[in-house]
Structure 1
């Protein structure tokens, strides 16, 4: 099979011939049909600050078709279209540990333990390949997806699943007012789509890219774009001016240099509101202890997604509550990873690159 493979931190990512993965107990082998190529992937591939656990077949998430399964796998059958998860968990309830397959990113406190290194070794390789081996817990059957006319678009399910988990963790109820920080990015755009599908009365889309904000405003009359200024009080006032204080704030900002938009979102919360952190802000934020207590505010972190969340998102797509053609798509092949990743780096807003191996 062909795969995007990085041999060492110093060697470039390349499309190489690799042996087909061999099925083993508790696992499935899938024919990979589509994988989202995120805009940040070039920085990750070239980075030595957070080194990839090389050698490595790159890639997290996507959709595929089960072509082989072990005898002890009962949640899917050969021929099923499945969503591919990249989160591998230890299963220890008292001391949970997890890693992202195909990237090696460590969850929890980020500590490299004996268990973490064992998981990173056994479930090392990812999904940017023609075939992939995954634990049975990392595949979710998508009933009816075999009839979806544009399978390349289903690669965006990974981002919709992550965004959807953030919306689930927020406790959003129908009629709630939801503010999305970083809405002009791919994850933020996905969060806007899920919040709308789950019945938000207003979705306040916050970002700096004016053109991307204008596109988001065309999705639905309930979307209200607000351009960020990086002034906490001014941005908070702009959020509240739309429809009053908000029930939910979801942070999807990328590698943000300032936490001011996040603080603006916090300021704009109504009493008993919820702030969900799932972005890339690299600064710690001061939390006003007394205010959180008196106003009964909730601050939650959200990472990746549970199988039931990605299945719920798929059902929203099937029902027409999420219209995937509203998301711009560029399809790329597997032979030239550099060109594909260059394209992804330039693809912004509610648009994405779908790798079709």
Structure 2
């Protein structure tokens, strides 16, 4: 059992509540993870103890060695092929409720200790760690090397802003921040001289050329952090901007199939892979970056809400974009 200190409220939470992002078991308490303080533990729990400040990642794994079933507690997502199975339905029946509450009962597998977080001055900012962890897992999969060039597709979203921060913290020599919101692009460009904003137009060829030009040549790695966009052209523009031997990793919510050119992928030795959610090890690495000051969460605007006005909280969350989010502080 944990006391919820701050829970991230994604911008699309209202769509989840209305059933537009996939089925959820009902009734339930929504909430895909949080930062909390452990109140009590079962006798077989040894990774955390009462008093610990923890990050709840919400990702529960069945433990199978091959193709384990995965669910996001309190949310819509399931891992594997993305389809509900008898196993995931059973997992969600037992672990149904999320973290938009004063207290939450969590399986030990979703919790990781944040050493030293009890002294962090703004605990509500730490709710962003879950988003950083997802982006960090994807960035790790790209194999970005210090001095390399990274392009973030969908950089003006919340996940894309997190990815931009991580690319900078990982030592990228240049970060091409590609997105549609001109105001957010301007703000990202002010973070660091290494950030090169690119306004995307929806033209695959035009956007690919603009990204490559901003990269001063081909892009080493591309991280696609787009949400539910109407078509796959922006994602494929990112793919087209890759240099030979480059890597593209998908971490977003695009719901279209990609027509990947077989010969191009093969002959140019490109890599295309997916990354979903985060391991505890990556989440801990993100916390270490924040704790040491390598990532400064002060550049992310946080707006706090309570439990007294759910509709208002969802409306405020829906208005957030880029480096800004809503944290539920019960």
Aligned-partner SS, 1:69: coil
1:101 equivalenced with 2:41 (yes/no): no
**Whole-angstrom CA distance in 2 between matches of 1:65 and 1:116:** 28
1:209 equivalenced with 2:181 (yes/no): yes
Which residue does 1:241 correspond to in 2? 213
Of 106-115 and 281-290, deviating more is: 106-115
1:44 deviates by 1.1
1:65 deviates by 0.5
1:49 deviates by 6.5
Query: TM-score, length-normalised on structure 2?
Result: 0.97
Matches within 5 A, 1:346-357: 346-357=319-330
Which residue does 1:81 correspond to in 2? 53
Contact 2:67 2:80 in 1 (8 A): no
Which residue does 1:228 correspond to in 2? 200
1:177 deviates by 0.3
Deviation readout 1:132-175 (Å, 9 max, x if unpaired) = 11111111111110010001100111111111111011111111
Matches within 5 A, 1:124-203: 124-203=96-175
Contact 2:21 2:76 in 1 (8 A): no
1:253 deviates by 0.8
1:48 deviates by 5.5
1:339 equivalenced with 2:312 (yes/no): yes
Which residue does 1:24 correspond to in 2? none
**Whole-angstrom CA distance in 1 between matches of 2:197 and 2:20:** 37
Which residue does 2:275 correspond to in 1? 302
Contact 1:104 1:120 in 2 (8 A): no
Aligned-partner SS, 1:225: strand
**Whole-angstrom CA distance in 2 between matches of 1:104 and 1:119:** 13
- Structure 1, gaps ≥5 residues long: 1-28
**Whole-angstrom CA distance in 2 between matches of 1:58 and 1:208:** 29
Deviation readout 1:210-252 (Å, 9 max, x if unpaired) = 0000000111111110000111121111111122101111111
**Whole-angstrom CA distance in 1 between matches of 2:54 and 2:119:** 13
Which residue does 1:37 correspond to in 2? 9
